[in-house]
Structure 1
Amino acid sequence: MSPPRGRTRLAAWGLAGAMIIAFLLVGLLSMSLRHPVFTYRSGAGPTPDGQSAFPSSGVTTSAAAGDPTASAEQEPGAAPMSAAALSARAGQGPVPASTAQDCPGATTTVRNKDQLSAALGGANPGDVISVADGIYTGNFTADRPGTLERRIFLCGGPGAVLDGGNTDTGYVLHLDHADYWVISGLTIRNGQKGIVTDTVKGAVLQQLTVTGVGQEGIHLRRNSTGNLLLANTVNNTGRVTPEYGEGIYVGTAVGNWCALTGCRPDESNFNVIARNSISETTAENIDIKEGTIGGVISGNTFSGSAMTAADAWVNVKGNAWTIEGNTGAESPRDGFQTHNILLGWGDHNLFRNNTATITGRGQQSRPRLR
């Protein structure tokens, strides 16, 4: 005897429904493996010195499913991490001391842009270039190295203004393989970028005012290592491209490694950013990129009042950075964030003794997967 037609139809629908549910469960499991959502509890993972890297409150984070930038950014990141990067831990690197360099007596004094360009182009170890008060319009480059024992100095007061003349293109001051320079006291303004270092070791940028630029204020990149950024004022960045309007930017995003560092990490390592005042940036006050290790961010003052393209003062994607003794206010969301842009990066960073006034809906520190 055959079953009633209605019961047969019900059984068929039940079987179809079970198959649909099973298919959805498999899809959800696959999605969860590719785009994990997790809750980070700060007490679970002490830093190398035994202190918790994040405040005691829990932080919930998630990776956005289907983020089109995630897969694109990771293509150049196939290069293996160096042994130094794998073993890096906060506080263990050869970082420079946070000590200002006194400008010696001038060996050359410049009073116009042509004299300045000539002095930069002909500089030798031990030279001291004094920049008289005035406006020097143009894009200036230093590409001759000093030595640790005989630095090259470029010194002036706030009234000595290097003006790029255009926020759409050009670097106001470009240090290109210019090791052991000291840039002190000047005002840098009105360029696409304020100061850019390419493959620079042991430079000191101190007591500068960097303001009114189209993108980032100061950028250390192309394996610029062991440099000191001390007691600078950086503000009013991102006037043309808000998403690139960081105050201080260290390293290179993985998507640009092939263009700038031969498809390998930009190892702009062991740089120190200390006692700077950073405000009115449209992007992060400080952005630390994947590929960098062992730096220090200490004693700085942050403000997020002008941020439109970021949601934290400090974003750390490198490894083994120490972030301590900083004070921030007016963040649109969080104070400090870490991001795992690439597997193995964004880890072993130490946050301690920071003071954060959060006016947005976020938290003092927030780790994220990306």
Structure 2
Amino acid sequence: MRHRTLTGLAAALLLISASAAAPALAAGPVLTARIVQTSVWNTGYGAEVVVAAGGQQSFGFNADGAGLPSGCTVDGLPCAGGPAPTSPIPSSPTPSPSRSPGPSPSPTEPTGTVVDVSTADQLDAALVEALPGQTIRLAAGEYHGPFLIRRPGTAGRPITLTGPRTSVLVNDGPSGAAPPCPVPTTGWDPGYGLWVFAAPYWNLTGFTVRDAKKGVVIDGSPHVVVDGLHVHHTDEEGVHFRRSSADGVIRDSIVEHTGLTQPGYGEGVYIGSAGSNWGCHGNSDGVDRSDRVQVIGNRIGPYVSAEHIDVKEGTFDGVIRANTFDGRGISGRNSADSWVDVKGIGYTIDDNTGTFATPGTFANGYETHNPTSTPAFANGCGNVWRANTADLGGVGAYAIRVTSTSKCAGNPNVVYASNSVRNATAGLTNIAVTP
């Protein structure tokens, strides 16, 4: 840590100690302090300083560099509190996408305490008792059970669930009688690997979810960040932003081997809900408005049996950037025959790389469709493609196929000349290219 940061920290400690010990400092108990890392990122970390003397006071700080403060004193005496952790929170092990992810939002680093868990029961308890700013840190190992998040974080103090790739969440369900619509219900396990329900501002970083009916399901929970997860071997979709889970992010993650038992519903990343499901999931004036979801720098596929990214009608203004799509294993079931199907509005789709090779059923790299379930919206319109690279394996027709221009006359889709295609049976796109 830099010297100027240490100086500020020492001054803060002295101020707290003076207020805690006054007025009879000499006769009072000896103050102690301990410094605990609460989060770690590439260029620094967050920590909490706890000063104790009968009661205790604490404050948090962010620091540049990796070292903990040294030479800490309170009232001129050494900070003789409990030792700092010997190992920091692990940084998320992330795949290296073929292209730079570009700018993406960075979640506010948590500033609360760290809760270490190593068993399924401990994880359940930590999720039930989670507080804003807290970090729940998974030890390596398998955690079996239905894991449900219902405690909200805040914009300034999100809650973080983190662990290495060798921390694996597995759901052996489903079981019990399901309610008419998926909501947490006593005695029912939906089979989801991790379910975030009405719990905004969570960061999910680094760990693995596998062998579940669905991988990660985010319901009614805006501002959830999925960062560096590995989601694989799911019966249906891998990661789903649903019930108006707006402003979410999935980045630097791997999603593969989805749709093992329901190939037509084995999407890699699923944004929103089909209009036919708004009776359950249409919680924003009857519509699932999972708007502004960003899918950045991920590797999706192979053996994602439906679309790698399915963008549903009624959602707006998302970003699909710098992802790598491996189309091997696309099933063609339920019209799933492209990397990305855009039924939403105003999406930016740029700098992605897609390939296809057998086995699989493949029609086009990117497609738009125009469902009429929301007459007030021009679904499948106003989307933009730039600098995407497509190899259709000699099977696919167009890199980008726009289903209708007439339905989007007032908000057209735009395909720029910076996109490129190889091994296509028809060409780059079926609409005029914008220079």
**Normalising to structure 1: TM-score of the pair?**
0.71
Higher relative contact order (CA 8 A, sep 6+): 1
1:203 CA drift (Å): 1.2
Q: How does 1:155-304 map to 2 (within 5 A)?
A: 155-166=162-173, 169-261=190-282, 264-279=286-301, 280-304=303-327
1:170 CA drift (Å): 1.2
Counterpart AA for 2:402: P
Aligned match for 1:333, one of 335, 357, 363: 363
1:304 CA drift (Å): 1.0
* Distance in structure 2 (CA, Å) of the matches to 1:330 and 1:102: 38
* Distance in structure 1 (CA, Å) of the matches to 2:296 and 2:156: 23
Asked if the contact 1:265–1:290 (Cα under 8 Å) also holds between the matched residues in 2, the reply is no
Aligned match for 1:365, one of 400, 415, 422: 400
Asked if the contact 1:101–1:182 (Cα under 8 Å) also holds between the matched residues in 2, the reply is no
Counterpart AA for 1:304: G
1:361 CA drift (Å): 3.4
1:167 CA drift (Å): 7.5
Asked if the contact 1:196–1:220 (Cα under 8 Å) also holds between the matched residues in 2, the reply is yes
1:104 CA drift (Å): 7.0
Aligned match for 2:149, one of 102, 127, 142: 142
When the two chains are superposed, the root-mean-square deviation of aligned CA atoms in Å is 1.9
1:316–1:186 CA distance, 2 compared to 1 (3 A)? same
Counterpart AA for 1:358: L
1:107 CA drift (Å): 1.4
CA distances 1:48-70 after superposition (whole Å, capped 9, x unpaired): xxxxxxxxxxxxxxxxxxxxxxx
1:254 CA drift (Å): 0.5
1:164 CA drift (Å): 0.9
Q: How does 1:28-47 map to 2 (within 5 A)?
A: none
CA distances 1:25-81 after superposition (whole Å, capped 9, x unpaired): xxxxxxxxxxxxxxxxxxxxxxxxxxxxxxxxxxxxxxxxxxxxxxxxxxxxxxxxx
1:161 CA drift (Å): 0.4
| Identity in percent | 38
Larger helix proportion, structure 1 or 2?
1
Specify every segment of 5 or more residues in structure 1 that has no aligned partner in the other structure, as ranges: 1-95
Specify every segment of 5 or more residues in structure 2 that has no aligned partner in the other structure, as ranges: 1-102, 176-189, 408-435
1:150–1:99 CA distance, 2 compared to 1 (3 A)? closer
* Distance in structure 1 (CA, Å) of the matches to 2:120 and 2:108: 25
Corresponding residue of 2:114: 107
Counterpart AA for 1:361: G
* Distance in structure 1 (CA, Å) of the matches to 2:114 and 2:259: 36
* Distance in structure 2 (CA, Å) of the matches to 1:238 and 1:167: 15
CA distances 1:12-32 after superposition (whole Å, capped 9, x unpaired): xxxxxxxxxxxxxxxxxxxxx
Asked if the contact 2:110–2:159 (Cα under 8 Å) also holds between the matched residues in 1, the reply is no
Aligned match for 1:350, one of 384, 388, 397: 384
1:98 CA drift (Å): 3.8
1:153–1:112 CA distance, 2 compared to 1 (3 A)? same
Question: Across the two proteins, how many residue pairs are aligned to each other?
Answer: 275
